[in-house]
């Protein structure tokens, strides 16, 4: 389980570590804000393609082999990130190719989810998928700060210039190498559900993890969105921080964990890689399309209203069908 979570952390670091310096790196090569937006989209496009591909692969090949392939692709992309520097190739094309390749390699989230599902019982999945979702958001929150560790770097090694722009790529290379080494030496592919903690039928019956209380994440997100809508004219930094806390730090991680756990429970004990890949691809589509809205709409308030509408529709739909989902998963439970 540790290695699965580390793979997920390394994949999310591919976005977070370069976040603070990517625009400055782009600008140093002659790019602008529009090119920066394209780089962000290219990462998600790569993930969109690979999520389903890797999901299918883990249904037909071993999880370890898929992890090694995805980590190797990320490693190659991050090496290209280093040589895109103006002192080596000075190429915006190389930088764009790097972000696409790294995004493609980082599309192994569906593999991690399917792996967790394969070694846990239906009633244990919410707990472990919540841990996996927590790792994702830790990657978002913590890894941008790693760039500060190399902010003053300015040296040449083997002809490659390491500075505040390229050094985040070196950090990602270290993560990729650690992932590959860990997969070869530490990952235990023999772990199955019987190796986990025992669960009595009484405990399983009490864990109604898909009851209507799980509509709470959308409500929490809506609290933050409402603050962003009704106070935009005089929004102070503390108010913005509180609103973003409700949206990103509380509502989104819980929503992700609950949705993935519900989807996994519906699939039961069947191989889940391909379908988890489709779920991940759907998320990538939203990350490609929705960031374009602020450019198309002159003010931000309509964007937050759209977010509130989407969250409300999800909450209503979930409340409508969660009872049926619970009955379906309960009938699939080994206890029944």
What pLDDT, in 10s, does the model give residues 15-37? Answer: 878 877 888 888 888 888 778 87
Residue 308 structural domain: 2-332
pLDDT at 135: 82
pLDDT at 325: 57
CA distance 67 to 49: 16
> Residue 233's Cα: distance from chain center in Å?
32
Largest CA distance in the chain: 65
Nearest to 209 by CA among 257, 252, 247, 253: 257
CATH code: domain of residue 293:
1.20.1250.20
pLDDT digits (tens, 9 = 90+) for 272-298: 666 776 776 676 677 667 666 665 666
pLDDT at 78: 92
Cα angle for residues 177, 180, 184 (degrees, 5° grid): 140
pLDDT at 152: 77
Per-residue pLDDT of the chain (336 residues; tens, 9 = 90+): 888 889 888 888 888 788 778 888 888 888 887 788 788 888 888 888 888 888 888 888 888 999 999 999 999 999 999 888 887 788 899 999 999 999 999 888 888 888 888 888 777 777 787 788 778 777 777 777 777 777 777 787 777 778 888 888 888 999 999 999 999 998 887 776 665 566 555 444 444 444 444 444 444 444 544 555 555 556 667 776 777 677 666 667 667 666 766 666 666 666 666 677 677 667 667 766 766 666 566 666 777 777 778 777 877 776 776 666 555 555 655 554
167-202 in b/e burial notation, b at 16+ Cβ within 10 A?
bbbbbbbebbeebbebbeeebeeeeeeeeeeebeee
Nearest to 166 by CA among 154, 179, 178, 158: 154
Tell me the backbone φ, ψ of residue 220, rounded to 5 degrees.
Answer: -65, -45
Report the domain count for the chain. 1
- The model carries a pTM of 0.69
117 and 59 Cβ atoms separated by less than 8 Å: no
């Amino acid at each position: 389980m540790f290695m699965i979570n580390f793979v997920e952390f390394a994949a999310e670091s591919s976005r977070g570590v370069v976040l603070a310096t990517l625009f400055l790196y782009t600008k140093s090569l002659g790019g602008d804000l529009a090119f920066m937006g394209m780089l962000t989209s290219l990462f998600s496009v790569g993930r969109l393609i690979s999520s389903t591909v890797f999901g299918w692969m883990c249904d037909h090949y071993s999880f370890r082999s898929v992890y090694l392939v995805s980590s190797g692709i990320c490693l190659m992309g991050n090496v290209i990130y280093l040589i895109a520097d103006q002192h080596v190739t000075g190429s915006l094309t190389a930088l764009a190719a790097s972000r696409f390749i790294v995004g493609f390699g980082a599309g192994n989230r569906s593999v991690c989810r399917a792996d967790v599902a394969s070694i846990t019982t239906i009633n244990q999945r919410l707990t472990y998928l919540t841990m996996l979702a927590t790792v994702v958001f830790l990657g978002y929150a913590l890894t941008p700060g790693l760039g500060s560790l190399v902010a003053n770097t300015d040296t040449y090694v083997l002809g490659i210039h390491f500075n505040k722009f390229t050094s985040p790529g070196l950090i990602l290379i270290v993560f990729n190498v650690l992932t590959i080494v860990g997969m070869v030496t530490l990952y235990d592919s023999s772990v199955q559900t019987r190796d986990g903690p025992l669960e009595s039928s009484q405990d399983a019956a009490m864990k109604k993890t898909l009851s209507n209380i799980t509509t709470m994440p959308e409500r929490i997100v809506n609290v933050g969105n409402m603050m962003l809508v009704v106070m935009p004219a005089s929004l102070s930094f503390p108010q913005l921080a509180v609103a973003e806390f409700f949206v990103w730090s509380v509502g989104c991680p819980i929503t992700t964990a609950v949705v993935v756990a519900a989807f996994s429970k519906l699939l039961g004990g069947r191989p889940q890689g391909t379908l988890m890949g489709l779920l991940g691809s759907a998320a990538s589509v939203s990350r490609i399309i929705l960031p374009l809205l602020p450019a198309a709409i002159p003010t931000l308030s309509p964007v937050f209203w759209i977010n509130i509408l989407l969250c409300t529709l999800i909450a209503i739909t979930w409340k409508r069908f969660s009872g049926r989902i619970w009955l379906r998963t309960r009938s699939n439970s080994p206890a029944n």
